[in-house]
Amino acid sequence: MSLIILFLFLLYTCKLAKASAKDNKTDKYEFCQPTRCSNKSPRIRYPFRLKAQPTSCVLKGFELSCLSDKTILHLHSSGDYCVHEISYLDSSITITDVNEATCSFQSLISFNLTNSKFFFLHSNESYALYNCTETASPRWTSYGSIGPINCLSNENNLVYTINSESSVEDMPPSCRKSGTVEIPGGLPLQDIATTARARPVVLGWAALDGCYDCENLGNYCGFNTASNSTICVAVKHQKT
Ligand SMILES: *[C@@H]1O[C@H](CO)[C@@H](O)[C@H](O)[C@H]1NC(C)=O
Ligand SMILES: *[C@@H]1O[C@H](CO)[C@@H](O)[C@H](O)[C@H]1NC(C)=O
Ligand SMILES: *[C@@H]1O[C@H](CO)[C@@H](O)[C@H](O)[C@H]1NC(C)=O
Ligand SMILES: *[C@@H]1O[C@H](CO)[C@@H](O)[C@H](O)[C@H]1NC(C)=O
Ligand SMILES: *[C@@H]1O[C@H](CO)[C@@H](O)[C@H](O)[C@H]1NC(C)=O
C-alpha cells in the first residue's frame, strides 16, 4: 500500500518538475555579462563574478573584487591576492600576494587553501623550516637544504628549508625546526630563497561538467540556476 502511495507521489513530483521546467524555459537564465576591473585585467565570468554582480550566475567561493585596476581574490584562510590571469579552459588562476613587498617564502608560509575551491595546479611539496644560529655546513647543504632564506633571516637567525621527506638526522645542532611550508610545484626554490619579489602561484579549480568541451569550442560555460546545471553560452567571435 505505502509503495503505491510512494509511486503515485513520485509520479506527481516528476510531473511538477517537468511543468516548472517548461514554464521557466531558458529565458529565466541570466548570463552574467563578462566584466573586468580594467582594460588590462583578466576577464571575469562564470564561475567567477564581481561582488557587485548578481549571485545567481556564480559558484560560491569564486567572488572577486576590484581594487582600483587590480583584480582581487580573497582566500578565506589567508587573505587577499592579486589575480593576474584566469584560464577558463584550464580552470586555473594565477595570483600573487596583494602586498608586493611580501617575499615568496613569507607569502607561502601564510598561504592556506582550507575552505577555498582552489588547489595548487602543479601539486605541492612540504618543506621544513629551520632556524639556525650559524651558517649550514656543506654537509648539510648536500642533503638538499636551501638557504639562508634572505627575507626570513637576520644576523642572529638564519632560516633554512629542506624537503620534509629528507632525512634530517644530521641537522646542525644550532638549528631548530620552526615550521613547515607547502611549496607549489614549478617554483624554483633556490631562486625564491634569495629574491625578494613574490612569485606568481598557479591555482586550479575543479572544472564543472561539460565546461571544458564548451570552452574548448570558444564558447562560455555558464550556469542555469533553474535547472541546476551548467550550460554552454555561444559566443560570437569574442575571445577572452
Ligand atoms: C588553515 O586555515 C584553517 C581554517 O581557517 C585552520 O584550521 C588551519 O590550521 C590552517 N592551516 C595552516 C597550515 O595554517
Ligand atoms: C599539498 O599536497 C598534499 C598532498 O601531497 C595535500 O594533501 C595538501 O592538501 C596540499 N596542500 C595544499 C595547501 O594544497
Ligand atoms: C624562528 O625565527 C623566526 C624569526 O626569523 C621567529 O619568529 C620564530 O619564532 C623562530 N622559531 C623558533 C622555533 O625558534
Ligand atoms: C521557475 O523556477 C524557479 C526556480 O528556479 C521557481 O521558483 C519558479 O516557481 C519557477 N516558475 C514557474 C512559473 O514555474
Ligand atoms: C544541484 O545539483 C547538485 C549536483 O549536481 C546537487 O548536489 C545540489 O544539491 C543541487 N542543488 C539544488 C538546489 O537542487
Beta-strand ranges (E) seen in 98-172 are 118-120, 124-132, 158-163
Mean pLDDT of 163-189: 84
- Distance, CA 118 to ligand 1 centroid (Å)? 14
- Length of the chain in terms of residues written: 240
Q: Is 124 in the pocket of ligand 2 (CB under 6 A)?
A: yes
- For residue 150 and ligand 3, the question of a CB distance below 6 A is answered with no
For the CA of 225, the nearest atom of ligand 4: 5
**pLDDT value of position 228:** 79
23 lines ligand 4 (CB under 6 A): yes
Q: Which atom of ligand 4 is nearest to the CA of 226?
A: 5
Place of cell 588547489: 119
Looking at the predicted structure, is the pLDDT value of residue 28 above 70? no
Q: What is the DSSP string of 167-187?
A: --TT--TTEEEEEEEEEETT-
pTM of the model: 0.78
Cα(74)–Cα(182) distance, rounded to whole angstroms? Answer: 19
Amino acid at 27: D
Indicate the domain borders of the chain.
124-184
Q: How far apart are CA 36 and CA 49, in angstroms?
A: 9
Ligand whose nearest atom lies closest to the CA of 27: 4
Q: How far is CA 41 from CA 37, 44, 54, 93, 236, in A?
A: 6, 9, 20, 13, 21
Instruction: Label residue 129 exposed, middle or buried (CB < 10 Å: 0-12, 13-18, 19+).
Output: buried
With a 6 A CB cut-off, is 113 part of the ligand 2 pocket? Answer: yes
Residue 36 grid cell:
573586468
Q: Whose CA is nearest to atom 10 of ligand 1?
A: 112
Q: Which three cell numbers stand for residue 161?
A: 628549508
Q: pLDDT tens digits for 144-162?
A: 888 899 899 998 999 999 9
